[in-house]
């Protein structure tokens, strides 16, 4: 056994730091920001061939997920690329899930391109039954905004038996908390805008697959749809990825403290937490009016629609038409890295 073959596998914390770095003598520690649309003496063009800035991000995310990654202009651009690449006729979709993707698929249905089968992803038997005859089983776990969790291993095996491709939106879990390719996913989707970027300053999406044919289709989707990431966004996302392990660890510790206190608070009727991660959902007993009042009263938490940054954000989701079926008093909270006592004091005064 050679020394190289005996080397232990790297932990995800280390991969997040070292993957996608230049390795030559005299190279910079990180790939620089490459601002170019064209290159000398060849046919390379950024839309079709990318830049080393994109490629470094893709290499790092792919290493974390155990596949090959491609970057897109946004999470929705990545979702659109998946629909283009797989061209499904029947799609199983979570009843509670990100409304942007549900709206995208509903538009395809309205145009007569596909059939949708909504299903409660916590009911594994129902998901398996709905997957019979489906081309794509679109899982999102934990779900946005209700934080439902799917049994990916069982659903993945069923998809393999039934000939369906499982797509997993793993934005809330990040590559650090689950790797769906190991459960049989054909594609893993990330809105890198969220936890990967981590600083609320960029838009980027990522798809990861271990299927070469699917990878080639995803490349075509990006090339023909023109959904390419900006070089600055790719550079910032890779820089954010380097600190994602420590950011997520700090946010998760804060979340665990907050959910314990929220569960004991008389103004809260329900707390939803999948057991790990930085996303929390809770229902205010007074319904929509009380939930809106809380959002108006917080001073440290930020009422905002996005998530996954170093700052804590909170939002009542049922106010949006696409999430009208969610409990009116449900608040989705993305827990940041602030001092947890400051966060709790802010929530407590808003709840008082």
Here the CATH number for the domain that contains residue 304 is 3.90.1150.10
Distance CA 227, CA 216 (A): 15
- The CATH number linked to 83 is 3.40.640.10
Higher pLDDT, 281 or 37: 281
Identify the bridge partners of residue 165 per DSSP, sorted by sequence position.
136
Q: How many domains does the chain have?
A: 2
pLDDT digits (tens, 9 = 90+) for 220-256: 999 999 999 999 999 999 999 999 999 999 999 999 9
Residues 165, 84 share a domain: yes
Q: Which domain holds residue 81?
A: 12-89+153-242
pLDDT of residue 5: 56
Report the pLDDT averaged over residues 49-57.
Answer: 91
Q: Say if CB 170 and CB 180 are below 8 A apart.
A: yes
Is residue 4 very low, low, confident or very high in pLDDT (cuts 50, 70, 90)?
low
pLDDT of residue 334: 98
Residues 34, 168 share a domain: yes
Residues 214, 171 share a domain: yes
Q: What is the pTM of this model?
A: 0.95
Distance CA 81, CA 136 (A): 14
Residues 236, 204 share a domain: yes
CA distances from 15 to 9, 30, 68 (A): 10, 14, 14
Lowest-confidence segment of 5-19, 156-170, 201-215, 291-305 by average pLDDT: 5-19
Residue 268 DSSP SS3: strand
Residue 66 DSSP SS3: coil
pLDDT of residue 200: 97
Is residue 39 very low, low, confident or very high in pLDDT (cuts 50, 70, 90)?
confident
pLDDT of residue 46: 84
> Is 25 inside any structural domain?
yes
> Is 116 inside any structural domain?
no
Is residue 172 very low, low, confident or very high in pLDDT (cuts 50, 70, 90)?
very high
The structure tokens 């893709």 sit at: 58
Report the pLDDT averaged over residues 312-318.
Answer: 96
Residues 260, 327 share a domain: yes
Residues 75, 187 share a domain: yes
Residues 163, 72 share a domain: yes
Q: How far is CA 45 from the centre of its chain?
A: 29
Q: Say if CB 191 and CB 174 are below 8 A apart.
A: no
Report the pLDDT averaged over residues 180-200.
Answer: 98
Q: Say if CB 75 and CB 207 are below 8 A apart.
A: no
> Is 6 inside any structural domain?
no
CA distances from 91 to 166, 170, 266 (A): 10, 18, 41
Res 322 pLDDT > 90: no
Residues 178, 38 share a domain: yes
pLDDT of residue 48: 84
Higher pLDDT, 45 or 185: 185
Res 42 pLDDT > 90: no
Q: What is the CA radius of gyration of the chain?
A: 21
Res 306 pLDDT > 80: yes
Torsion of CA 197, 199, 201, 203, to 10 degrees: 30
Res 265 pLDDT > 60: yes
> Is 73 inside any structural domain?
yes
Distance CA 240, CA 202 (A): 10
Quickly list H helices, the chain: 12-18, 46-49, 52-65, 75-86, 99-110, 124-131, 152-162, 174-177, 212-225, 231-263, 287-297, 340-351
- DSSP summary character for residue 181: G
Residues 223, 291 share a domain: no
Res 285 pLDDT > 60: yes
Residues 263, 220 share a domain: no
Start-to-end C-alpha separation, the chain = 65
Res 325 pLDDT > 80: yes
pLDDT of residue 152: 98
Q: Say if CB 269 and CB 284 are below 8 A apart.
A: yes
pLDDT of residue 78: 98
Res 261 pLDDT > 60: yes
Name the burial class of residue 55, with classes exposed (0-12), middle (13-18) and buried (19+) by CB atoms within 10 angstroms of its CB.
middle
Residues 59, 196 share a domain: yes
What tokens does 173 get? Answer: 């879990």
Residues 213, 78 share a domain: yes
Mean pLDDT of the chain: 95
């Amino acid at each position: 056994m050679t020394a190289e073959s005996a080397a232990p596998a790297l932990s995800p914390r280390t991969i997040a730091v070292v993957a996608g770095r230049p390795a030559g003598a005299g190279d910079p520690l990180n790939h620089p920001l490459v601002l170019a649309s064209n290159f000398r003496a060849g046919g390379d063009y950024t839309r079709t061939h990318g830049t080393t800035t994109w490629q470094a991000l893709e290499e790092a995310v792919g290493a974390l997920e155990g596949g090959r990654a491609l970057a897109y202009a946004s999470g929705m651009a990545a979702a659109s690329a998946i629909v283009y690449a797989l061209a499904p006729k029947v799609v199983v979709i979570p009843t509670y899930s990100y409304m942007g993707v549900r709206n995208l698929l509903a538009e395809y249905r309205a145009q007569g391109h596909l059939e949708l089968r909504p299903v409660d992803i916590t009911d594994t038997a129902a998901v398996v039954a709905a997957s019979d005859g489906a081309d794509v089983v679109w899982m999102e776990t934990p779900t946005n905004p209700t934080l439902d969790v799917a049994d990916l291993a069982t659903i993945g095996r069923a998809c393999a038996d039934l000939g369906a491709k499982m797509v997993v939106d793993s934005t809330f879990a990040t590559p650090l908390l689950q790797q769906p390719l190991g459960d049989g996913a054909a594609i893993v989707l990330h809105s890198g805008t969220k936890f990967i970027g981590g600083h609320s300053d960029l838009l980027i999406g990522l798809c990861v697959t271990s299927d070469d044919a699917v990878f080639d289709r995803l490349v075509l989707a990006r090339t023909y749809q023109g959904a390419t990431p900006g070089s600055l966004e790719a550079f910032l996302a890779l820089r954010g990825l380097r600190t994602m392990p420590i950011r997520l660890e700090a946010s998760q510790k804060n979340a665990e403290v907050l959910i314990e206190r929220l569960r004991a608070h008389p103004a809260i009727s329900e707390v939803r937490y999948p057991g790990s991660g930085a996303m929390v959902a809770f229902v205010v007993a007074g319904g929509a009016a009380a939930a809106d009042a809380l959002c108006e009263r917080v001073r440290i938490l930020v009422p905002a629609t996005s998530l996954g940054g170093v700052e804590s954000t909170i939002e009542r989701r049922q106010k949006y038409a696409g999430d009208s079926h969610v409990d009116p008093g449900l608040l989705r909270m993305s827990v940041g890295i602030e001092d947890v006592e400051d966060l709790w004091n802010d929530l407590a005064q808003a709840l008082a």
